[in-house]
């Protein structure tokens, strides 16, 4: 029953946005009565929070996979570009869900996003240490933190704001930005 309600909540959120989502719409989409819905979710916010949590988990899985898949790539530009494109594609798949995440996670005080960022930081830190060892001017963790926050912020803004930059051009520019910073971080 919960899975059906969450799936219906996701559908309604994608069709109507957070403001247009009501428990009555979700119940109708799930094919159940509003009373049945309330046995599992106390209100609209609980449904949206569960949909957002599952979306965030999916994003984390996809981004982590892209990072792991590119960890052995010899060409740093290709590795960065592939990760940027994977992130943009994952975020752009459902902008309404991304908007809900952007609005909900900070407001709800949910530290999922921070925990995910720390895991990506650790993965990138390991990659930087494996590739560059002690050649970095700053600790690898510092470099990873700056890169993760920069790329995440740019990708989210790109998807939500829809600037007049095509996907490939965006990936090229972010890749150049990341490589420029890495080049500076590697200068002795």
174 vs 118, higher pLDDT: 174
Claim to verify: residue 146 and residue 175 sit in the same structural domain = yes
Same domain, 15 and 53: no
For 17-55, how does the pLDDT look when each residue is reduced to its tens digit (9 = 90+)? 888 999 999 999 999 999 999 999 999 999 998 998 888
104 neighbors 110 (Cβ within 8 angstroms): yes
**Which whole-number Å values give the CA distances from 46 to 25, 145, 181, in the listed order?**
14, 31, 41
- Token pair belonging to 31: 């094919």
Task: State whether 22 and 83 are in the same domain.
Answer: no
The token pair that represents 174 in the structure block: 């972010």
**CATH number of the domain bearing residue 152:** 1.10.357.10
Whose tokens are 């899975």? That residue is 3
> Domains in the chain: how many in total?
2
pLDDT at 106: 52
For residues 105 and 113, is the Cβ–Cβ distance under 8 A? yes
CATH number of the domain residue 26 falls in:
1.10.10.60
For residue 108, the model assigns a pLDDT of: 47
d(CA 3, CA 171): 35
137 and 66 fall within a common domain: yes
- Per-residue pLDDT tens over the stretch 112-146: 677 778 888 888 888 888 888 778 888 899 999 99
67 & 83 share domain: yes
Q: Using CB atoms within 10 Å of the CB of residue 9, give its burial: 0 to 12 exposed, 13 to 18 middle, 19+ buried.
A: buried
Its domain, for residue 31, covers 1-42
pLDDT tens profile 146-171: 999 999 999 999 999 999 999 999 99
pLDDT attached to residue 109: 43
Q: Is 138 helix (H, G, I), strand (E, B) or coil?
A: coil
d(CA 112, CA 132): 30
């Amino acid at each position: 029953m919960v899975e059906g309600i969450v799936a219906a909540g996701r559908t309604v959120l994608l069709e109507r946005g957070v403001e247009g989502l009501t428990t009555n719409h979700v119940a109708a989409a799930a094919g159940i009565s509003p009373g049945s819905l309330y046995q599992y979710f106390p209100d609209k916010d609980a449904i949206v929070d569960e949909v957002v949590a599952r979306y965030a988990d999916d994003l984390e899985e996809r981004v982590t996979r892209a990072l792991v898949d590119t960890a052995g790539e010899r060409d740093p530009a290709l590795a960065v570009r592939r990760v940027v494109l994977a992130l943009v594609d994952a975020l752009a798949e459902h902008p309404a869900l991304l908007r809900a995440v952007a609005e909900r996670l900070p407001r709800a005080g949910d530290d999922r996003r921070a925990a995910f960022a720390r895991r990506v930081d650790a993965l990138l830190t390991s990659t930087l240490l494996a590739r560059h060892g002690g050649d970095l001017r700053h600790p690898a963790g510092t470099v990873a933190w700056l890169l993760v926050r920069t790329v995440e912020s740019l990708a989210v803004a790109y998807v939500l704001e829809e600037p007049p930059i095509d996907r490939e051009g965006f990936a090229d520019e972010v890749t150049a930005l990341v490589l420029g910073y890495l080049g500076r971080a590697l200068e002795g």
